Amino acid sequence: MTDTFSPRTLGDPLPDDARASRIIAAAIETFGARGYTDTTLADIARRAHVSTSTLQLHFSSKDELFRETVRSLMLASLTATDDESTNVLAGATVADAVRAVARRYWRSMERPELVAILRLVVAELPRFPELATLHAVEALERQVHALERLIERGVVRGELRPVDVRAAARTIVATLAAHALWFAYPGIYAGLTGPDRDRAAAATIETLIQSLAPTPAPSTDDSSDHA
């Protein structure tokens, strides 16, 4: 039976304790390498260079530590999306702001340990359904909402073509998430990705931006008809 889980938002920091941070870092590595089932608190304590009893002063069970590990990784991966909205107001084009959000999200998914832990969240979904919900609400939906605001502004300004704003934002996040997963497993997906991650990121993001570009107005120059 698992311990009771009290929902916490990603904005709630862990106590400012160097040992707790070290334990979380060790848990990220250990859970990512060995999986949830094959990891013990003793394994994590050894990697963190603390005793198991010290670890349990901070995290009473493996379930609690796994939850905090996932939460910590998601917090670290969140992008500072407010900056992009500010950039639009400061004079940047909406397309450039969307590019910035997309690039930051792509970079946030470059950490192999994050991909490994998120894979564990999916694998352990029956045991930790709230973690999948936390990821969906606090990470993915925040990205989608930030892009929605930018795309809607671009449509109003005429910088982007009229689109289903939510569908467009969701498509951008889903496409980048899929590419990040492919690059996390080059041995499997090399035929899809190619070797150059940065080049693939730039090309993918630019393709997404171009799909939002306004349709050119029909030419009114009929001089060729009178040649």
Q: Are both 84 and 188 inside the same structural domain?
A: yes
Q: Are both 91 and 202 inside the same structural domain?
A: yes
Q: Are both 58 and 86 inside the same structural domain?
A: no
For residue 37, what are the domain limits?
19-73
Q: Are both 29 and 82 inside the same structural domain?
A: no
Residue 193's H or E segment, with its range, is helix 186-193
Specify the pLDDT at position 52: 95
Q: Are both 34 and 84 inside the same structural domain?
A: no
Instruction: Tell me, yes or no, whether 171 lies in a domain.
Output: yes
Q: Are both 194 and 138 inside the same structural domain?
A: yes
CB-CB contact of 147 with 169 (8 Å):
yes
Q: Name the domain count of the chain.
A: 2
pLDDT bin (cut points 50, 70, 90) of residue 50 is: very high
pLDDT in tens, 101-124: 888 877 777 776 777 777 787 778
Specify the pLDDT at position 69: 87
Residue 139 corresponds to which amino acid? A
Instruction: Tell me, yes or no, whether 175 lies in a domain.
Output: yes
pLDDT in tens, 174-195: 998 888 778 777 778 878 877 7
Specify the pLDDT at position 3: 40
Q: Which residues have a Cβ under 8 Å from the Cβ of 97 and sit 6 or more positions away? A: 84, 85, 87, 88, 150
Q: What is the CATH number of the domain that holds 32?
A: 1.10.10.60
Q: Phi and psi (nearest 5°) for 157?
A: -75, -10
Give Cα 44 distance to the centre of its chain. 25
Q: Which residue has the higher pLDDT, 146 or 44?
A: 44
Question: Percent of the chain, pLDDT > 70?
Answer: 79
Cα 124 from Cα 227, distance rounded (Å): 71
Q: Are both 157 and 139 inside the same structural domain?
A: yes
Residue 73: pLDDT above 70? yes
